[in-house]
Amino acid sequence: MANKKTILKDEFLLREGEHSDHMYWLQTGQLVVLKRKGLEDVQLGHIFAGELVGEMSFLDGEPRSATVKAITDCELIAIPRDVFDKVFVGQPTWFQGLVKTLTERLRKTNAKVKI
């Protein structure tokens, strides 16, 4: 079962380099996505209510590629791996292949982008 999670303004939801065992569905609030460059964090974008966050590392098993921090108080639904896997394994193999392909392509594209 998915779990509700609350984080307050300025709290971190996830950090670049961490291992992933959850992805999150933002219900209320706003998050900012940050990437470390030297000693600074560069802002890459925002996550708004209704969007998923933490999905890429969750899907491909690679370390988190960015840090996510709350810029307002937030309510999220945490989706653990076992819950996702029960749904995902029931999907057609072509759909599973699509998810894998999209994740690999996004990861490769991100690696080419210089911040």
Q: Tell me, what CATH number does 54's domain have?
A: 2.60.120.10
| Alpha carbon distance 12, 33 (integer Å) | 10
Q: 10 Å Cβ neighbour count for 23?
A: 22
pLDDT at residue 76 in the model: 98
Distance of CA 10 to CAs 7, 74, 97, 114, Å? Answer: 8, 10, 37, 26
Domain extent, residue 50, equals 3-112
pLDDT band at 115 (very low <50, low <70, confident <90, very high): low
| CA angle, 76 then 36 then 31, to 5° | 20
pLDDT band at 112 (very low <50, low <70, confident <90, very high): confident
Who has greater pLDDT, 29 or 108?
Answer: 29
For the chain, the domain total comes to 1
pLDDT at residue 48 in the model: 98
Query: Which range is least confidently modeled, 5-14, 21-30, 52-61?
Result: 52-61
pLDDT surpasses 60 at 1: no
